[in-house]
Amino acid sequence: MSEKLDAILAAAHTHATEVVAPNVDAWNAAKAWPRDASDKAGAAGLTGLYAPEDWGGQGLPLSEGIQVYEQLGLGDGAYAFALSMHNICTFAGCGYGTDAFKKKWARDLTAGRKLANFALTEPQSGSDPMKMYTRAMINGDGTWTISGSKAWVSLATEADIYFTVVKTSDAPGHKDMAMIAIPADAPGISFGPLYETPSYNFLPMSEMYLDNVVVSEENIILPIGQGLQGSLMAIDIARVSIASGCCGLMQAALDTALSYSKSRKMFGGKNLDLDGIQWMLGEVATDLEASKLLYRRAAEALGTPDGPLMAAHAKRFVPDAAVKAANTCTQVLGGMGLLQPYGLDGLSRLAQMLRIVDGTTEISRVVIGRALQKRAAGLPDLPVPKGFGERDEEASSIAAQ
């Protein structure tokens, strides 16, 4: 681990334990994004992780920067998720944006003075981006006029710019898709009612409506024909980032259960002295170590041919392990685990949310299943037993020839 990464991870740990964890309940009660906290994250270098140093970023490779969310997940998984999406957008803007866009936006994004988020999903399509109805019409002066709607937009009403995937024709498929950054103050942009969520109300999410929104061509992040490919890469990064944040969540749940069970007296001793409790928490500890290894391996694969599959493995396994860990640790506390001050009930709901966002674990299973089909196609056939009826059908076919 480089000294730079070591320092950034330490800063993320401090931010999670001193800024996020002590205040997240108050943020949820207020139902408002803690802009002062994200400002502090920016000051700590956590909002431009992958962006070039020339634009104020940290210049970390994805394999290193993604480890930050493991630390932030100790404080809150939804907060880690929001910052991960901002960092992905900042990475895209600084890496692929026009020179004019970077001059206007890059340093504010890397410093966290302005926040960005990603808008791909639409209300009717969910995980199927081919069914996209948001349209961009290219005007004679080079500007784009955009109309449509997006769903599950994080930092809705709070972000300063939204990296939005659009279609530029009615033709089926993805060859006409592009990504354009839409400033929040552009005329014609509006938001629906904020979604009511069970344990992360501080993170505003809603539908976003675009009514003849006109955006300059300098805000094109990915040109026509590259929108879907770039979006899928962004989703792969997000999936691995979520797995990283889930590891922090698992560690928080495990530490809560350990802190409680080492002091709880039952049956003539401490709960942590009981074999059953040790076995339960030992399984959580093993899943946590396996999850760390998996998401870090997936992070190293991003940008390679193995990247999408490894991201799917990480998104399939780690959030499921986090749900299991949160539930197990709740069980260790017994009835006390249901009480809000211990935080385990909230961790269970957060883990469930992280199973769903940026592709459900079922979508990851589809990706993995298709990879297995491709591998199977290249393997030699093995003899397969035939049923009685199949033998008769085969014999009849031979006789007919």
Domain CATH number, residue 156: 2.40.110.10
Q: Is residue 382 part of a domain?
A: no
Count Cβ atoms below 10 Å from residue 272 Cβ, excluding itself: 17
Contacts of 41 (CB under 8 A, 6+ apart): 15, 19, 47, 83, 112
Shared domain for 179 and 252, answered yes or no, is no
Q: Is residue 314 part of a domain?
A: yes
Shared domain for 91 and 160, answered yes or no, is no
Shared domain for 26 and 122, answered yes or no, is no
Shared domain for 163 and 265, answered yes or no, is no
pLDDT of 392 = 66
Shared domain for 198 and 96, answered yes or no, is no
Q: Is residue 385 part of a domain?
A: no
pLDDT of 268 = 79
Shared domain for 143 and 185, answered yes or no, is yes
Contacts of 134 (CB under 8 A, 6+ apart): 122, 146, 147, 148, 149, 150, 164, 165, 166, 167, 210
| CA–CA distance, 380 with 191 (Å, rounded to integer) | 55
Shared domain for 49 and 186, answered yes or no, is no
Secondary structure (H, E, C), the chain? CCHHHHHHHHHHHHHHHHHHCCCHHHHHHHCCCCHHHHHHHHHCCCCCCCCCHHHCCCCCCHHHHCCHHHHHCCCCHHHHHHHHHHHHHHHHHHHHCCHHHHHHHHHHHHCCCCCEEEECCCCCCCCCCCCCCCEEEECCCCCEEEEEEEEEEECCCCCCEEEEEEECCCCCCCCCEEEEEEECCCCCEEECCCCCCCCCCCCCEEEEEEEEEEECHHHEEECCCCHHHHHHHHHHHHHHHHHHHHHHHHHHHHHHHHHHHCCCEECCEEHHHCHHHHHHHHHHHHHHHHHHHHHHHHHHHCCCCCHHHHHHHHHHHHHHHHHHHHHHHHHHHHHHHHCHHHCHHHHHHHHHHHHHCCCCHHHHHHHHHHHHHHHHHCCCCCCCCCCHHHHHHHHHHHHHC
Q: Which of 62, 91, 115 represents a domain boundary (last residue)?
A: 115
Q: Which of 115, 148, 170 represents a domain boundary (last residue)?
A: 115
Shared domain for 241 and 370, answered yes or no, is yes
Q: Is residue 399 part of a domain?
A: no
Q: Which of 74, 93, 115 represents a domain boundary (last residue)?
A: 115
Q: Which of 46, 57, 66, 73 is nearest to 299 (CA)?
A: 66
pLDDT digits (tens, 9 = 90+) for 306-329: 999 999 999 999 999 999 999 999
| CA–CA distance, 275 with 167 (Å, rounded to integer) | 58
CB–CB of 240/295 below 8 Å?
A: yes
Question: Given the DSSP bridges, would you call strands 161-167 and 116-119 parallel, antiparallel or unpaired?
Answer: parallel
| CA–CA distance, 72 with 52 (Å, rounded to integer) | 22
Q: Is residue 400 part of a domain?
A: no
What's the pTM?
0.91
Any idea what the CATH number is for the domain that residue 364 is in? 1.20.140.10
pLDDT of 398 = 66
pLDDT of 80 = 96
pLDDT of 394 = 65
If you count them, how many residues does the chain have?
401
Low-confidence ranges of the chain (pLDDT < 70): 1, 391-401
CB–CB of 149/207 below 8 Å?
A: yes
Structurally, the chain folds into a number of domains equal to 3
Q: Which of 65, 90, 54 is nearest to 5 (CA)?
A: 65
Shared domain for 246 and 185, answered yes or no, is no
pLDDT of 391 = 66
The residue range of the domain holding 62 is: 3-115
Q: Is residue 388 part of a domain?
A: no
pLDDT of 388 = 75
Shared domain for 16 and 78, answered yes or no, is yes
pLDDT of 395 = 61
Q: Is residue 384 part of a domain?
A: no
Contacts of 39 (CB under 8 A, 6+ apart): 112, 113
Shared domain for 145 and 55, answered yes or no, is no
pLDDT of 218 = 96
Phi, psi of 30 (to 5 degrees): -80, -15
Q: Is residue 61 part of a domain?
A: yes
Shared domain for 145 and 91, answered yes or no, is no
